């Protein structure tokens, strides 16, 4: 592959693809993690509120 | 259906007159659009250089882009002013179909901004050194093409009606969709090929926009104001 | 009568995602493994283009995804407008950034392919230009999502615009093609459709399926995110209205 003068472009293309795809995956998972944390906090708050059971 | 005393044509006619009167009074939309058009034409030679041969070659393109931008200029207010003073709610409740109201409002907007551009374009074309044949081409293609720009823009105006600053978003949404009109309009105007074929396609695009826009814009207005 | 779970129900859909996402993720990984092996190691360089032909195995699948995601989004837009279903809203919203990313990838790989082939980074070639316009439409859709506060209203307005775009995209494609023949670009690059060699076809097929499954997996996960986001919104509005209605202080969050 090193014999070809243009192999740099091939490597660059695959690196960009890797970056974009990894970016999509990481963004989706990070979004999920933060949403879940917020939901749990909210559920704990309202849940405690409506149980009205002070510990 | 017909319970109200006002027959359909006169209700729409009254709306058209009202829009024209408001447009003429508030800020003078017609003269403002033409003035903006003139400014755009005037700054182009400063960007490109005063070479008349070059200007004549790209003149039709400059006039078309200027017309596109000038049409976009007042579009964000097309429905917004009515939404603010509550007349849009009345339109939504009235017996008159919203689709027809959209069409009449587009007609008023085109009469106030599109038509003056068409009339002014031959004179501005002279500034850019266009010959008689090209002047006719530009005026004819703008006459057929600017209604389509207004109609497609009306969809964007309906989508952004509830946004406080919808003007920029409107342009972002609408400009990609108006590429076909620009392509065939400039082709007809510059006469790079035969005039007739792109001109007829442009007519077709305008008719298609005329057929589809009222439904899309009315759908957007109904959904945007709940 | 209803023995099957109803996947239009958000709760059932979340259960489906929990079960299906690992499966599709595994399939995606396997397809990428095979596809990359074939594309990078097991396929010959092109006799004209040399190694650069390997960019095709990224470029063509992402171009396919750019269109496929728009079709998915348009179907979901119909679902939003006809049935006003929240899941259709989430499907629409989750697809837009993914579609934009694939379209971006298509443009970048096209540019990186164009530099050695054409000698410039960008050519106003008909195909590239159409994809470019599609990218702009994706960005417009994302912008429209971001500026409208109420999720239901945003979904319906975006649906109208998506469908207007769906009607317009073939017209744009046609006019850009016509425009390109008018201006006769210097080097029209042809990718011979059926004449493509078998050794190049297999990696292309595997990479295309890998991209499709990648999208399906990420799309499911992103729809789940949107469902959670709506749930959070609803809960926090409930909490806010409860505290406004003068619920005693013990119901509010305890001050530490």
Interface test with C, best of A4, A9, A12, A29 (most C CBs within 10 A): A9
Confidence grade of residue A47 (pLDDT, cut at 50, 70, 90): low
Q: What are the Cα distances from residue C247, in Å, to A46, A54, C242, C250? A: 12, 15, 6, 8
Closest-CA distance, B163 to chain C, in angstroms, reads 8
Most confident of A18-32, B72-86, C174-188: A18-32
pLDDT at B154 over 90: yes
pLDDT at C241 over 90: no
Higher pLDDT, C87 or C120: C87
Q: How far apart are CA B62 and CA B131, in angstroms?
A: 15
Map out the domains of chain B as residue ranges: 8-224
Nearest CA-CA partner of A9 in B189, C54, C181: C54
In terms of CA atoms, which chain C residue is nearest residue A31?
C225
- pLDDT tens-digit readout, C138-173: 999 999 999 988 888 899 999 999 999 999 888 888
Of C54, C252, C254, which is closest to A10 when you measure between CB atoms? C54
Instruction: Give the ipTM.
Output: 0.86
Interface test with C, best of A49, A50, A53, A55 (most C CBs within 10 A): A49
Count of all residues that appear for chain A in the document: 55
Determine whether the interchain pair A52/C113 forms a contact, defined as Cβ–Cβ distance below 8 Å.
no
Higher pLDDT, C150 or A19: A19
**pLDDT reported for residue A53:** 35
Q: Regarding the domain delimited by C21-183+198-237, which CATH topology (the fold level of the hierarchy) does it fall under?
A: 1.20.120
* Inter-residue contact C28 to C214 (CB < 8 Å): yes
pLDDT at B57 over 90: no
Q: How far apart are CA B88 and CA B69, in angstroms?
A: 26
- pLDDT tens-digit readout, C171-206: 888 888 888 777 654 433 444 444 566 777 888 899
Map out the domains of chain A as residue ranges: 22-47
């Amino acid at each position: 592959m090193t014999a070809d003068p243009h192999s740099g472009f091939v490597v660059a293309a695959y690196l960009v693809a890797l970056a974009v795809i990894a970016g999509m995956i990481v963004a989706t998972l990070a979004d999920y993690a933060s949403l879940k944390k917020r939901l749990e906090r909210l559920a704990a708050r309202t849940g405690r509120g409506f149980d009205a059971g002070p510990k | 259906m017909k319970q109200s005393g006002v027959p359909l044509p006169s209700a729409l006619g009254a709306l058209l007159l009202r829009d024209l009167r408001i447009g003429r009074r508030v800020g003078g939309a017609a003269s403002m659009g033409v003035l903006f058009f003139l400014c755009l034409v005037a700054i182009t030679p400063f960007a490109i250089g005063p070479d008349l041969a070059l200007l004549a070659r790209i003149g039709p393109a400059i006039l078309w882009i200027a017309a596109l931008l000038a049409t976009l200029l007042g579009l964000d207010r097309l429905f917004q002013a009515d939404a603010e003073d509550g007349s849009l709610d009345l339109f939504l409740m009235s017996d008159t179909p919203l689709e027809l109201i959209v069409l009449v409002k587009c007609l008023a907007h085109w009469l106030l901004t599109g038509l003056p551009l068409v009339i002014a374009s031959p004179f501005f074309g002279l500034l850019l050194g266009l010959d008689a044949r090209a002047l006719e081409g530009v005026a004819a293609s703008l006459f057929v093409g600017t209604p389509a720009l207004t109609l497609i823009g009306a969809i964007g105006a309906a989508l952004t009606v509830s946004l406080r600053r919808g003007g920029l978003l409107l342009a972002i949404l609408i400009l990609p969709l108006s590429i076909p009109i620009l392509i065939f309009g400039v082709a007809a105007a510059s006469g790079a090929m035969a005039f007739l074929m792109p001109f007829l396609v442009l007519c077709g695009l305008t008719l298609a926009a005329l057929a589809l826009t009222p439904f899309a814009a009315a759908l957007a207005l109904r959904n945007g104001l709940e | 009568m209803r023995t099957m779970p109803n996947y239009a129900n958000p709760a059932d859909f979340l259960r489906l995602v929990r079960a299906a996402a690992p499966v599709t993720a595994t399939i995606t990984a396997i397809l990428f493994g095979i596809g990359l092996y074939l594309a990078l190691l097991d396929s010959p360089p092109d006799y004209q283009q040399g190694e650069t032909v390997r960019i095709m195995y990224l470029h063509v699948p992402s171009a396919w995804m750019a269109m496929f995601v728009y079709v998915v989004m348009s179907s979901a837009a119909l679902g939003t407008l006809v049935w006003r279903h929240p899941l259709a809203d989430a499907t629409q919203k989750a697809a837009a950034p993914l579609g934009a990313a694939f379209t971006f990838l298509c443009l970048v790989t096209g540019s990186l392919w164009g530099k050695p082939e054409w000698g410039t980074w960008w050519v106003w070639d008909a195909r590239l230009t159409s994809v470019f316009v599609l990218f702009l439409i994706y960005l417009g859709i994302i912008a429209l999502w971001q500026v409208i506060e109420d999720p239901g209203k945003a979904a319906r307005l975006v649906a109208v615009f998506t469908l207007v775009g769906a009607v317009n995209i073939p017209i744009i494609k046609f006019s850009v093609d016509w425009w390109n023949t008018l201006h006769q670009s210097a080097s029209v690059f042809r990718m011979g459709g059926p004449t493509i060699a078998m050794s190049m076809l297999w990696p292309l097929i595997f990479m295309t399926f890998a991209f499709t499954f990648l999208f399906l997996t990420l799309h499911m996960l992103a729809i789940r995110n949107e469902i959670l986001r709506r749930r959070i919104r609803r809960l926090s509005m409930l909490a806010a209205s409860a505290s406004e209605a003068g619920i005693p202080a013990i119901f509010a969050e305890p001050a530490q």
